[in-house]
Chain A
Amino acid sequence: MLGKTAGGLYWMFRSLERAENTARLLEAGFRIALTRSSGTASEWKSVIATSAAQAAYTAKHDTYDAERVVDFLLRDQDNASSVLSVIKSARDNARLTRTGLTTEVWAAVNETWMVLTDVLKEPVLQTELPAVLTTIRHQSAVVRGALHGTMLRNDIYDFCRLGTFVERMDSTARIIDVKYYALLPSPSFVGSRLDNVQWETILRSVSAHRSFRWAADSDFTAPAIAEFLILDGRMPRSLRFCASKLVDNLGYLGMHDSDPKPSLLMARKLNDRLINRDIGSIFEEGLHEFLLSLINDNAELGRQIEQDYRFNS
């Protein structure tokens, strides 16, 4: 496969994952804003912080409110991570890698682009926001379904998956990090109203408010939620899950290598930090510090994958 094609597939799926994550973030933020009468600015601010678009946002706006944040994250062309921007980039990458995709995957991405550019043509009214966010998540599911259902499990598929999980790891880690103060097991917070709302936001941001109850078999306690999102290998958006998928897919790609590539070694190291771990030791290390170094290592891994597989040179 061409290095350029591998890069196109990887970035296409990073973009698609980003669009989906942005939709989830907005959904959770919007929910909080609805249930509160005042003081929603800090909530919207944390949505922007989580989306990793803080710098681009503050360059344009100095206040945080629903209208500005929603428009910035969904439609703003100056925001390279807005849903409109990433969908365009995903579709450009799909065109670039057209020869590697099944007709179904290509058509799904193309249709996603058509549907979303239409839905996001005009600023989204608050009354329409839930429907628009549902459409984004739905389209993302259609692409994923086409990928799973029709693609050969070969290197093409592996690069798609690497893009998905590098992006998802980054997103989940940021969500936890932005709200980490709400997760710290501090006696003064436990049981307070604020805590519950914050925890629910976190879980909703990763579509895990239902599965937490099934899987964790525990009350909404800070350590249980943190453990679920970081260490539960069954939860498809947990850090542990993402890291193990990265190791798997890099492993398939390097199956015939006599020496493992640097990217595989890095992924293994990342993964090792998440297995046989208990949440207590992470709190001891410092949750924020732990997440920050994970985010950095993940970004570094992304760069190494680009190099190892000659995306650009």
Chain B
Amino acid sequence: MSKTLKFFDEMLSADGARPPYQDYQTWFDGQDNLRLANKAQEAEAFFRRSGITFNVYGQEDAEERLIPFDLVPRILSAREWTKLSKGIDQRVRAINSFLHDIYNRQEILRAGVVPLELIAQNEAFLPQMMGFSPPGDVYTHIVGTDIVRTGPEEFYVLEDNARTPSGVSYMLENRETMLQMFPELFSKIKVQSVSDYPKSLRQSLAACAPKSAGSKPCVAVLTPGIFNSAYFEHSFLADQMGVELVEGHDLRVVDGHIAMRTTTGYKRIDVLYRRVDDEFLDPLTFNPNSMLGVPGIMDVYRAGNITIANAPGTGIADDKAIYSYIPDIVEFYTGEASILKNVQTFRCSEPDTLAYVLEHLAELVVKEVHGSGGYGMLVGPASSKKEIEAFRDKLKARPSNYIAQPTLALSTVPIFTDSGLAPRHVDLRPFALMSPQGVNITPGGLTRVALTEGSLVVNSSQGGGTKDTWILED
């Protein structure tokens, strides 16, 4: 890691604990390290017993893994949160308007704010969505905005996850675990509750039901199945919402609606919260080999008889190439300047920029435009010469497949180790729900932490862990 970068620690400043952490610090100082170490083990046993695990892709018969949980919470003040949530609210609305525009009148393209080829040549753009408005005009029912911090007031959006963001079950289970391990903490420190999320999710989804649905719309969660890496979350959310968890083979089109096979016959579904990618949603429209979707669902959708959350084609808005235009998109649709900042982004598709990026690979983070999960990316400062050279060839072969960003001095929050507290880099993914009634952001989120000292990669598939995220009450 480059020695010149200085990191902002969210808990400890030169004068002791920063204000949001002061009460916690007081409590922590009174704790016995051995007791805390035992608590950490208890937490792990609890996660295993509860089956809060994920499967790792690309490994034959890989065992299920736990996402390591760190017992030191990540704490934000009410003031910090207010700014963040306003910014997220604004961004989510703008992205939703952008999607509606792109799939209908395309005014933003005509105005020249976003280049046409970025849309036309984008794999995430779905022509099948053209000239169609989903129920309630909502595309992004659930958004998980990835936010990083570099200083007391410096928050940046790293990614707008507008497809099927995952991780919300960890937000809920981490809090549950903390409540079980340290109940006394929550009587001393007033933390805003996250436990309403499943109820809000169900209400928000139901509010997006098609007009044809009755007063009690039937909601279901669509999962690829028990071997999917996020299956735990799918079943958790269905369970918490009190709705059915279905797979493609449970569903079929009956009388122009999507229906699920129950023990007493087929029952109609009004809202499908799908955790299946666009490509696999309908073998008749998209990937014909898909076993995970429902043949004909796109026809039912276009006839206005089912709500699919999130809407197909939302990937066009959280694409990494579109990302650099989001501040302009926010301004275009809301008439306001973007509250949350973007990270400076180099579009490798532009020849001059590419030349710059190639020259500065050792300092930059380079990402695939369509990648996710921390795969296929280069963290320049943390890579060997050989890795950089190998990446250089990939970049030169398909420049438009990549964007580059400066290596950010991500903030740190301490984790608990055998030798006491030690700073580690973190990011934050709050979850926003959108319906015709508005945007609802649960005060909290998933804090991911890079457990390896100095590492900037927080993805769970790359050895990251999680923390409970506290938003303090005013």
| Closest B residue, CB atoms, query A103 | B50
Q: A2 near B226 (CB under 8 angstroms)? A: no
Q: CA of A28 to CA of B68 in the docked complex: distance in angstroms?
A: 44
Return the contact of B239 from the options A98, A107, A253, A313 (Cβ within 8 A): A98
Selecting from B25-33, B196-204, B245-253, the interface stretch reads B245-253
Prevailing SS type, chain A contact patch: helix
Q: CA of A310 to CA of B238 in the docked complex: distance in angstroms?
A: 21
Q: Within residues 1 to 57 of chain A, which ones have a CB less than 8 A from any CB in chain B?
A: 1-6
Q: A98 near B262 (CB under 8 angstroms)? A: no
Q: B262 near A2 (CB under 8 angstroms)? A: yes
Chain B's interface size range is 20 to 34
Q: A99 near B235 (CB under 8 angstroms)? A: yes
Q: A106 near B51 (CB under 8 angstroms)? A: yes
Q: B49 near A4 (CB under 8 angstroms)? A: no
Chain B residues, Cβ within 8 Å of A3 = 250, 261-263
Q: CA of A4 to CA of B251 in the docked complex: distance in angstroms?
A: 11
Given contacts A98-B235, A99-B238, contact A310 B262 (CB under 8 A): yes
Q: CA of A95 to CA of B50 in the docked complex: distance in angstroms?
A: 11
Q: B239 near A114 (CB under 8 angstroms)? A: no
Give B179 Cβ to nearest chain A Cβ, in Å: 15
Chain A residues, Cβ within 8 Å of B245 = 98-99
Q: A4 near B247 (CB under 8 angstroms)? A: yes
Q: A110 near B50 (CB under 8 angstroms)? A: yes
Chain A residues, Cβ within 8 Å of B326 = none
| Closest A residue, CB atoms, query B220 | A2
Instruction: Tell me if A227 is interfacial: C-beta within 8 Å of chain B.
Output: no
Instruction: Tell me if B244 is interfacial: C-beta within 8 Å of chain A.
Output: yes
| Closest A residue, CB atoms, query B46 | A107
Given contacts A4-B250, A98-B235, contact A310 B226 (CB under 8 A): no
Instruction: Tell me if A71 is interfacial: C-beta within 8 Å of chain B.
Output: no
Q: CA of A253 to CA of B262 in the docked complex: distance in angstroms?
A: 13
Q: B50 near A107 (CB under 8 angstroms)? A: yes
Q: B261 near A2 (CB under 8 angstroms)? A: yes
Give A160 Cβ to nearest chain B Cβ, in Å: 14
Given contacts A99-B235, A99-B244, A107-B50, contact A92 B260 (CB under 8 A): no
Q: CA of A125 to CA of B48 in the docked complex: distance in angstroms?
A: 28
Binary per-residue interface labels of chain B (49-91) against chain A in the complex, 1 for a CB within 8 Å, 0 otherwise: 1110000000000000000000000000000000000000000
Q: Within residues 83 to 110 of chain A, which ones have a CB less than 8 A from any CB in chain B?
A: 92, 95-96, 98-99, 103, 106-107, 110
Given contacts A3-B250, A106-B51, contact A95 B263 (CB under 8 A): no
| Closest B residue, CB atoms, query A308 | B263
Q: A92 near B226 (CB under 8 angstroms)? A: yes
Q: B262 near A1 (CB under 8 angstroms)? A: yes
Binary per-residue interface labels of chain A (194-228) against chain B in the complex, 1 for a CB within 8 Å, 0 otherwise: 00000000000000000000000000000000000
Binary per-residue interface labels of chain B (259-291) against chain A in the complex, 1 for a CB within 8 Å, 0 otherwise: 011110100000000000000000000000000
Q: Within residues 136 to 187 of chain A, which ones have a CB less than 8 A from any CB in chain B?
A: 155
Binary per-residue interface labels of chain A (295-312) against chain B in the complex, 1 for a CB within 8 Å, 0 otherwise: 000000000000001100
Q: B231 near A95 (CB under 8 angstroms)? A: yes
Chain B residues, Cβ within 8 Å of A4 = 246-247, 249-250, 261
Binary per-residue interface labels of chain A (218-250) against chain B in the complex, 1 for a CB within 8 Å, 0 otherwise: 000000000000000000000000000000000
Instruction: Tell me if A111 is interfacial: C-beta within 8 Å of chain B.
Output: yes
Q: CA of A169 to CA of B197 in the docked complex: distance in angstroms?
A: 45
Q: A110 near B49 (CB under 8 angstroms)? A: yes
| Closest B residue, CB atoms, query A117 | B63
Give A37 Cβ to nearest chain B Cβ, in Å: 43
Q: B263 near A1 (CB under 8 angstroms)? A: yes
Q: CA of A3 to CA of B246 in the docked complex: distance in angstroms?
A: 10
Chain A residues, Cβ within 8 Å of B226 = 92, 95-96
Q: Within residues 110 to 132 of chain A, which ones have a CB less than 8 A from any CB in chain B?
A: 110-111, 114
Q: CA of A155 to CA of B264 in the docked complex: distance in angstroms?
A: 11
Q: B261 near A111 (CB under 8 angstroms)? A: no
Given contacts A95-B226, A110-B50, contact A6 B263 (CB under 8 A): yes
Q: CA of A98 to CA of B237 in the docked complex: distance in angstroms?
A: 11
Return the contact of A309 from the options B236, B249, B260, B263 (Cβ within 8 A): B263
Return the contact of A111 from the options B49, B250, B260, B262 (Cβ within 8 A): B49
Give A254 Cβ to nearest chain B Cβ, in Å: 10
Q: Within residues 393 to 448 of chain B, which ones have a CB less than 8 A from any CB in chain A?
A: none
Q: B239 near A95 (CB under 8 angstroms)? A: no
Give A300 Cβ to nearest chain B Cβ, in Å: 20
Give B396 Cβ to nearest chain A Cβ, in Å: 45
Q: CA of A143 to CA of B63 in the docked complex: distance in angstroms?
A: 23
Chain B residues, Cβ within 8 Å of A106 = 50-51
| Closest A residue, CB atoms, query B51 | A110
Chain B residues, Cβ within 8 Å of A99 = 235, 238-239, 244-245
Q: CA of A114 to CA of B44 in the docked complex: distance in angstroms?
A: 14
Give A269 Cβ to nearest chain B Cβ, in Å: 22
Q: CA of A106 to CA of B236 in the docked complex: distance in angstroms?
A: 12
Q: CA of A106 to CA of B51 in the docked complex: distance in angstroms?
A: 9
Chain A residues, Cβ within 8 Å of B260 = 2
Chain B residues, Cβ within 8 Å of A2 = 244, 246, 250, 260-263
Q: CA of A103 to CA of B51 in the docked complex: distance in angstroms?
A: 10
| Closest B residue, CB atoms, query A8 | B226
Looking at A3, A110, A111, the one whose CB has the most chain B CB atoms below 10 A away is: A3
| Closest B residue, CB atoms, query A114 | B48
Q: CA of A32 to CA of B50 in the docked complex: distance in angstroms?
A: 40
Question: Chain B: residues with CB nearer than 8 A to chain A?
Answer: 48-51, 226, 231, 235-236, 238-239, 244-247, 249-250, 260-263, 265
Question: Chain A: residues with CB nearer than 8 A to chain B?
Answer: 1-6, 92, 95-96, 98-99, 103, 106-107, 110-111, 114, 155, 253, 309-310, 313
16 cross-chain CB contacts under 8 A? A1-B262, A2-B246, A2-B260, A2-B261, A2-B263, A3-B250, A3-B263, A6-B263, A98-B235, A98-B245, A99-B239, A99-B244, A99-B245, A107-B51, A114-B48, A155-B263
Query: What would 5 more interface pairs be, CB under 8 Å, given A3-B262, A98-B236, A99-B235?
Result: A4-B249, A4-B250, A96-B226, A110-B51, A310-B263
3 closest cross-chain pairs (CB), A and B: A98-B235, A309-B263, A99-B239
